[in-house]
Structure 1
Amino acid sequence: MEIFRTSVTLVSLCLLHSSLSETQSLCRGNLPPVQHVALNSSVTIPCPVLTAPEMVFKLYKGPEEISYVRINNTHIIKHNNGPRKDFSGSFKVNDTNNSTSFILNSVTVNTTALYTCEAERFFPPPFQKVEHKPQTIVFVEGRPVRKRNGCQQVNHLAFWVVLGVMSVYGVVMTCTVFILRIKLNAPFKDRECRRKWQGVQHPTWQGFYIDTV
């Protein structure tokens, strides 16, 4: 089912964003990762690694730029939503490995789209665009996604296995006892039948004669 939904999403995005440039195109054969998220939850869009003291990161929803962030020495000094004033999100820099990402908050069904993150180096010169442009497909579920507890699944599986073994054992034991009972009762029935037939004795016919002695 998830594969079917993913395929439908990819086809829809290909048709919807057919006007994208070659570097942004989804339909050229490279399959971006797909993130299935629940309504009103958050989703992380990865961006290029921070490799210079001063960089700019731009987030695109399809062909439309929805946000950009300017960073100077790992500090966010400028955050502008551009034409999308309704953009609800933030930008994060991981101090451990300098990875960066946009975080979309309170997602809705309209959040479903292909997202591309681009980066540009401003300092030290020369100005240069980062070739790596991560793309992510965000697919917002129509209803909240319930997280399944692995421990509960294992416990339920163990319960049904034990119940099945006990049921089979009970059926086997019942059949065994029933068969043994039939075999044990059979000799007694044969004896009773024999006694009944032996108990009915017909008297021998004696002829009428006179003892003349």
Structure 2
Amino acid sequence: MSACWMFVILMGCRLGPSHSTQPQSTCVCHDQLKTFCVPPGDNVTVSCPKLDANHVIFKLLQDEEMIFNHSYIRDKKALNYKPPHSRVVVELHEDKENISASFRLTGLNASSHGIYRCEGTVIFPPPLRTVSSDWRILVLLEGHQCRIHAKPPENCGFHWIWIIALVSIYSIIATIIAIVIWVKLRRTDSQSDYMNTKPQAPRERRKKRGVQNPIPRHF
């Protein structure tokens, strides 16, 4: 029984660190949001991350859906590109080490409201990786949309802190209960061993019984 409770104690102590070491990179929500309230027909710029690569694909997302992408190779010199029949203008910026881009949204209308962000995917050199911009851009048009206060994004790190704290408290309580029960079981086993032990007869009683029943030497 004591070995079983020791196993429970070790499992409880193991549970806490396993959750605390879990990486938080899987959290997809961002805590940086810029809000722009613009008149119809105005322009808004969405910046992309800076990347050190020769071949990058920049993607523009609206409400987490890709609406436009642009492939850039360092040898090409097209630093400003406007796709046909589109209200998006791609502006590329290049220096000796990094390249970056920005998407300029032109001619905004009622259907243009939403949350925009940019991400860049490095194609060459390997490994293949995707980097998202640090900011999300909330576009609202003057009028009814600007009077609606957007709900701020949830902070995933704050949720993880609460989860880790609850798991740690649960592990500590389970460990304390297991130790108390283990100590009680040890005391019960000790008392049982004491009760099952047959007491020895006193010495005086054994001497008296020897005197009362002498063994005759002669018949």
Query: TM-score normalised by the shorter chain: which range applies?
Result: 0.3 to 0.5
> Which of structures 1 and 2 has the larger relative contact order (alpha carbons within 8 angstroms, sep 6+)?
2
Normalising by structure 2, we get a TM-score of 0.45
Task: Indicate the structure (1 or 2) with the bigger Cα radius of gyration.
Answer: 1
Normalising by structure 1, we get a TM-score of 0.46
